[in-house]
Amino acid sequence: MENNNLREQILFTANADPKKCMKCGKCSGACPNYDEMEYHPHQFVSMVQNGDIEPLLKSESLYLCLTCMVCVERCPRNVQPARFIEAVRLAKIRQQGENRLTPQQIPAKIEEDTPQQLLVSAFRKYTK
């Protein structure tokens, strides 16, 4: 499935080149949250390159990347897979009505020692 405009937008946001990938899979070997994800770091790179973006937009995997940057650090080719995941996530949550997290949900989630940092970063990642 080709989706050229969206693909170009995602490539611009990601500011990284999927053509550099040599399909070694080290990103997905290193990913600490692999088992929770439906699509994995190397698939984000490859599917964005192929314009096969719809399945990614629908996937829970978007919210399961921890942006720990291990895939970026260990990639032998400097592909920076996390940037592609981030770019697809942004393409999703920038759409009207696609906020993943709303302020109304917060009180129920707060515990005694929940750090402000958790709330701030979660909003950055899940909401526009």
Q: Which residues bind other proteins (CB under 8 A)?
A: 12-15, 20, 22-36, 40, 42, 63-64, 66-70, 72-74, 76-78, 82-83, 86-87, 90, 101, 109, 113-126
* Residue 110 CB, nearest approach to other proteins (Å): 10
* Residue 91 CB, nearest approach to other proteins (Å): 9
Q: What DSSP state is assigned to residue 17?
A: -
Of residues 111, 118, 32, the one with CA closest to residue 71: 32
In the complex with other proteins, the residue whose CB is nearer, 58 or 74, is: 74
In the complex with other proteins, the residue whose CB is nearer, 2 or 113, is: 113
- Compute the distance between CA of residue 67 and CA of residue 83 in angstroms, rounded to an integer: 9
Q: What angle do CA 59, 84, 82 make, to 5 degrees?
A: 95
